[in-house]
């Protein structure tokens, strides 16, 4: 049995509407339809144009506008947006 997930505070992020958790990264859709992500970025899964890991949220998907859905499939090294 896996332990229950703990609630944690993420610095520098407000207005979160949706959250997706991948294998080693997390993405969050904010109320202004922008996306922030943090965690492992070795495969570019933070979608910020780098492969640098980040323990704090970075702006992702800057070329997309009007994002209203996100996902970071569990076990996956990628993120999705629509």
Higher-confidence residue of 82 and 28: namely 28
Residues 6 or more apart whose Cβ sits within 8 Å of residue 21: 72, 74
Taking residues 5-33, what's their average pLDDT? 83
pTM: 0.80
Is residue 1's pLDDT more than 60? no
Domain ranges of the chain: 16-81
DSSP 3-23: PPPPP---TT---EEEEEE-S
- Tens digit of each residue's pLDDT (9 = 90 or more) over 24-71: 898 899 998 888 999 999 988 888 899 999 989 998 877 777 888 888
Q: What is the pLDDT of residue 54?
A: 92
């Amino acid at each position: 049995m896996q332990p229950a997930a703990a609630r944690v505070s993420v610095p520098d992020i407000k207005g979160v509407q949706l959250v997706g958790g991948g294998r080693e990264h997390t993405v969050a859709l904010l109320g202004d339809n922008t996306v922030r992500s943090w965690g492992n970025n070795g495969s570019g899964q933070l979608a910020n144009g780098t492969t640098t890991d980040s323990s704090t949220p970075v702006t992702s998907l800057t070329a997309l506008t009007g994002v209203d859905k996100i996902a970071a499939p569990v076990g996956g090294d990628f993120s999705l947006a629509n």
